[in-house]
């Protein structure tokens, strides 16, 4: 998507260079500038629309995930927890939905506890 904007900016800079270095009158230069600006804007807009249409998800799973991503803001805590677990399962991780509400006391990972015990014993 950045290449579309970069191309539009480059075309505009070339157009400005063309108009500023030409020997045409002011009104003729403004006509060229306005016409070129409209043409560049139209091409950039058309490319944005084409890119948006071609980048849509094609598989049913991708479409479902897109719909669920759009609904994240309105999810309750339990729905978000199920969504996150499904997302991690889709990435190949093992996920367990615990449920419950409120803050839980932090429990440090077992490898840290083991490391601390080994250091204390030395």
Tokens 């403004």, residue?
Answer: 30
pLDDT at res. 110: 54
pLDDT at res. 104: 55
Residues 108-122: pLDDT tens digits?
455 555 454 445 555
Same-domain pairing of 37 and 22: yes
Q: CB neighbours of 61 closer than 8 A, spacing ≥ 6? A: 90
Distance CA 72, CA 84 (A): 10
Q: Which domain holds residue 98?
A: 60-121
pTM greater than 0.85 (yes/no): no
* Domain count across the chain: 2
Same-domain pairing of 115 and 80: yes
Distance CA 115, CA 1 (A): 47
């Amino acid at each position: 998507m950045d290449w579309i904007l970069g191309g539009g900016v480059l075309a505009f800079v070339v157009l400005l260079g063309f108009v500023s270095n030409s020997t045409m009158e002011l009104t003729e230069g403004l006509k060229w500038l306005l016409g070129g600006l409209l043409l560049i804007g139209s091409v950039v807009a058309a490319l944005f629309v084409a890119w948006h249409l071609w980048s849509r998800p094609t598989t049913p799973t991708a479409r479902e995930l897109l719909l669920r991503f759009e609904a994240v803001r309105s999810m309750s805590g339990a729905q978000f927890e199920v969504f996150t677990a499904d997302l991690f399962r889709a990435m190949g991780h093992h996920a367990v939905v615990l449920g419950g509400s409120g803050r839980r006391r932090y429990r440090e990972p077992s490898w840290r506890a083991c490391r601390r015990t080994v250091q204390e014993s030395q």
